[in-house]
Amino acid sequence: MIKDPTHPRTVLRYCQKCGKEVQFDSQNFKSVCDHCGFQFYINSAAAVAAVIESDNGQVLFAVRGREPFIGMLDLPGGFIDVGETAENALMREINEELGANVTSSSYLGSFPNEYSYGGLTYYTLDLAYRCKVESLDNLKAQDDISGWEFHNLKEMDLELIGSTSMKNIVRFLQNE
């Protein structure tokens, strides 16, 4: 059986406290050090995703400018910083990626995901919001996106979308 080289049990083989080799408890997603007793839990990181619609009902998708999934479609958004609310992260990420200001948002739901980056798989919980922005004119591709496109959700080819959670958000919206 070939191990996933990015899975935490493969990458995090040593105690973060004393440096000794640890056992990984896959059932509870934690590493346990038999030497010092330290337990390190693998938890989900929180992220936000924005569903921004044009006046004709099409949804804005960002084109990823870096890995993972470079060149594929994504909903604009990103990780929530430590100490930051999801709503503030949503406003910050939309401004950083598109140069747009969020004027209102409403929560849609949460969608688990696996995000492999830098040789490690991170588990995320992506919080989706329907958003309105001041204007869709003069958007700028910034930060980690290389562009944006509008798509009709009912005709959306899910294979153009990189991450599982973003595909699941689109499926959720298609079934509304």
Q: Are residues 28 and 99 in the same domain?
A: no
Out of 3-12, 48-57, 101-110, 140-149, pick the least confident: 3-12
- Binning pLDDT at 50, 70 and 90, where does residue 53 land? very high
DSSP 67: S
Question: Using one digit for the tens of pLDDT, what is the confidence trace for 35-46?
Answer: 999 999 999 999
Q: Are residues 102 and 33 in the same domain?
A: no
- At residue 26, the pLDDT reads 83
Q: Are residues 49 and 120 in the same domain?
A: yes
> Residue 49 — φ and ψ, nearest 5°?
-140, 135
The tokens for 115 are 């995000």
Closest CA to 152 of 55, 52, 57, 51: 57
Q: Are residues 34 and 55 in the same domain?
A: no
Q: How many domains does the chain have?
A: 2
- Binning pLDDT at 50, 70 and 90, where does residue 47 land? very high
Q: Are residues 83 and 149 in the same domain?
A: yes
**Residue 50: inside a domain, yes or no?**
yes
Cβ(79)–Cβ(126) under 8 Å?
no
- Binning pLDDT at 50, 70 and 90, where does residue 159 land? very high
List the domain range (segments joined by +) for residue 122: 45-174
Cβ(36)–Cβ(20) under 8 Å?
yes
Q: Are residues 66 and 115 in the same domain?
A: yes
Q: Count CB neighbours of 101 within 10 A.
A: 12
Question: Using one digit for the tens of pLDDT, what is the confidence trace for 121-134?
Answer: 999 999 999 999 99
Q: Are residues 140 and 162 in the same domain?
A: yes
**Residue 29: inside a domain, yes or no?**
yes
> Residue 144 — φ and ψ, nearest 5°?
-105, 20
Percent of the chain with pLDDT over 90: 90
Q: Are residues 28 and 113 in the same domain?
A: no
Q: Are residues 34 and 95 in the same domain?
A: no
- Binning pLDDT at 50, 70 and 90, where does residue 27 land? confident
The tokens for 109 are 């739901």
- At residue 9, the pLDDT reads 86
- Binning pLDDT at 50, 70 and 90, where does residue 102 land? very high
The tokens for 94 are 């939309």
The tokens for 54 are 């044009």
**Residue 1: inside a domain, yes or no?**
no
Question: Using one digit for the tens of pLDDT, what is the confidence trace for 66-89?
Answer: 999 999 999 999 999 999 999 999
**Residue 3: inside a domain, yes or no?**
no
Out of 20-24, 96-100, 147-151, 171-175, pick the least confident: 20-24
Query: Would you list the DSSP string of 4-51?
Result: PTTSHHHH--B-TTT--B-EEETTTTEEE-TTT--EEE--PEEEEEEE
**Residue 2: inside a domain, yes or no?**
no
* Rounded distance between C-alpha atoms, residue 158 and residue 171, angstroms: 9
9-19 average pLDDT score? 93
- At residue 1, the pLDDT reads 45
